[in-house]
Amino acid sequence: MTRTILVPLFALSLIGCATVSGEPTAPSTKQSGGSLAWEPMTSPPPAPRKEDTPRLQQKEVWVPGYYQPVAGTWVWHQGEVRDAKEGYTLVPAATKEENGKFVFSPPRWRRSDLASQSK
């Protein structure tokens, strides 16, 4: 009996958890061209959670946690360590206000030679 309970619990611990908060609006959609687009939200995301940044190895980068709109609510994605990509800079997730709506952009890699041009 104990083994029957522990196996599913162990599997869930490997998957991770998400926290939901916010007020409902329209869900995420696909744009033409296949990239994901997130519907603007009527409320801003909650304040980011405090996370301890782990000690990074050479060629690793920390992706800070962020709130992402999912099915009309803000869902927390915990920060994570990823392998750095040579010639690229990590652009963290961001939310900006446009015409009273809050628009999300996910974390992404940007070519380092272009990163300095966008400032």
**What are the extents of the domains in the chain?**
2-115
CB distance 67 to 95 below 8 Å: yes
pLDDT at 29 over 80: no
**For the residues 60-76, what does the mean pLDDT come to?**
95
CA angle 112-116-119, nearest 5°?
A: 140
**For the residues 81-105, what does the mean pLDDT come to?**
95
pTM, 2 dp: 0.65
Looking only at the bridges linking them, the beta strands covering 101-105 and 94-98 are antiparallel
**For the residues 5-30, what does the mean pLDDT come to?**
43
Amino acid 106 reads: P
Distances (CA, A) of 14 to 11, 108, 110: 5, 24, 29
Looking only at the bridges linking them, the beta strands covering 73-77 and 66-70 are antiparallel
What pLDDT shows up at residue 117?
Answer: 61
**For the residues 88-102, what does the mean pLDDT come to?**
95
**For the residues 54-71, what does the mean pLDDT come to?**
95
With bands split at pLDDT 50, 70 and 90, how would you rate the model's confidence at 45?
A: very high
